[in-house]
Amino acid sequence: MSESVVDLAAPPAGITSVPEAEEADRSKGVASEPLTGEPLVGALIADTGGIGAAVAVPAAPGFVMPDALKRSAEALFWPLASLLVTMILFSLMIALLGKSPIDLFRLIYVGAFADAFAWQNTLQRAAPIILTALCVALPAQAGLVVIGGEGAVVLGGLVAAMVPGALGASPVINLVAMALCAMVAGGIWIGLVGYLRHSRGVNETISSLLMAYIAMAVFNHLVEGMLRDPASLNKPSTKPIGDANMLGNIPGIDVHWGLSYGVIYCLVLFLVLRFTTTGYAIRIAGGNVRAARLAGLPVGRLIIGSCFFGGAAAGLAGMAEVAAVHGSANASLAAGYGYAGILVSFIARHNPVAVVPVAILIGGIGAAGGLLQRRMGLPDATMLVLQGMLFMIILTAETMYGRLKIFRPAGA
């Protein structure tokens, strides 16, 4: 197995080297043309958000570690620097409005992280967006920018809401079936986007967004028509799944099990991407699809597969919302989690492990938003402005990678 990794890392003459391909991935999201430049050593470590710090790649071992550290340090430095710059700019804005930035950041801390309740509030908000972020992160590893996770969320939720009624099994089996069906539904939906991209060359960013609108329309049509519970008069919903089938809370904290789904999903994806040849192949396909083809990789399967498992994560988020929060599928399911996931994934630079803390940060900002409205009289849009600033600055910082001398690999 590891043989193939080695072979791929040393491409034949005339073909873009893998690290270059990865360079392209990090700067453009989707890359088809190689960029010039960076050396090969340390290859995989690099990037896609510092996924690994110590990959065994054939090279002079003495140089690998320091470079790896540099890369990891860089991967931490820019997001933190972006956060700091955002905080400074945001403070200026708040000061211009005549409010105290110190109060503001204190309230954000109180609302999001100060005590058990604040943490619970934050984690509950983070739970669905961890999963929806994976719907962006995984396809991004394969070189696709998928932004239509919202569609997979609502369809996953709808399918999950149907399962207990159709299956009528014991709660545990019902829940497992709900999770699997939701994952398949979400997976097929985003998998279609991958298929269109691979076989018909349809731009996946646009198609996934449009597919999300289609999903919403289908969802509304069914929930307000065929699948409507006649008892839900003024808020059309599907039949309740029943209290017995509801997903409980993780013992010790008042946060539902959906959070653990997200964390586990992230870990599994991390391990797959980092330690398996499949994961490696996905990233090669993501870096440079032509090089991947030349190397004989099954690019189609890799692209569609990563879309499928990304969509499956979003579908699972929909299931958790239905099973842990709503108890049935209705319009409240389309709460924008799919779109929040885009922000999280980009800030995490599509690294599944980084998705968790970033989702918690965004969840915390959401949790604190209410307190800012109530204590400081700031409008709800304040937090959107903060999120927007953060997003823009982090994207800008993406272009800074490799520009600071201290982070350059020794061989450069």
Interface with another protein by CB under 8 A: which residues? 110-111, 117, 120-121, 124-125, 220-221, 224-225, 228, 233-236, 321, 325-327, 330-332, 335-336, 366-367, 370-371, 373-374, 379-380
> How buried is residue 61: exposed, middle or buried, by Cβ count under 10 Å (0-12/13-18/19+)?
exposed
Least distance (Å) between residue 314 CB and another protein: 15
Least distance (Å) between residue 128 CB and another protein: 8
CB closer to another protein, 112 vs 163:
112
CB closer to another protein, 228 vs 290:
228
H/E segment holding residue 270? helix 258-275
CB closer to another protein, 310 vs 327:
327
CB closer to another protein, 120 vs 277:
120
Radius of gyration of the chain (CA): 22
| Closest alpha carbon to 29 in 11, 49, 43, 45 | 49
Q: Enter the tokens of residue 125.
A: 């908000």
Least distance (Å) between residue 21 CB and another protein: 40
Least distance (Å) between residue 285 CB and another protein: 36
Give the separation between CA 223 and CA 298, rounded to whole angstroms. Answer: 39
Least distance (Å) between residue 28 CB and another protein: 31
CB closer to another protein, 40 vs 110:
110
Cβ contacts of residue 138 below 8 Å, gap of 6+?
A: 269, 306, 307, 309, 310, 313, 352
Give the separation between CA 54 and CA 46, rounded to whole angstroms. Answer: 10
| Closest alpha carbon to 5 in 52, 67, 72 | 52
Q: Are 330 and 237 in contact (CB under 8 A)?
A: yes
Q: Are 150 and 282 in contact (CB under 8 A)?
A: no
Least distance (Å) between residue 202 CB and another protein: 25
CB closer to another protein, 228 vs 301:
228
Least distance (Å) between residue 131 CB and another protein: 14
Q: Indicate the Cα dihedral angle 202, 203, 209, 214, nearest 10°.
A: -10
Least distance (Å) between residue 178 CB and another protein: 17
Q: Enter the tokens of residue 138.
A: 């995984």
CB closer to another protein, 71 vs 125:
125
> How buried is residue 330: exposed, middle or buried, by Cβ count under 10 Å (0-12/13-18/19+)?
buried
CB closer to another protein, 2 vs 234:
234
Please state, in angstroms and as integers, the Cα–Cα distance from residue 399 to each residue in 265, 351, 356, 394, 402, following that order: 29, 17, 23, 9, 8
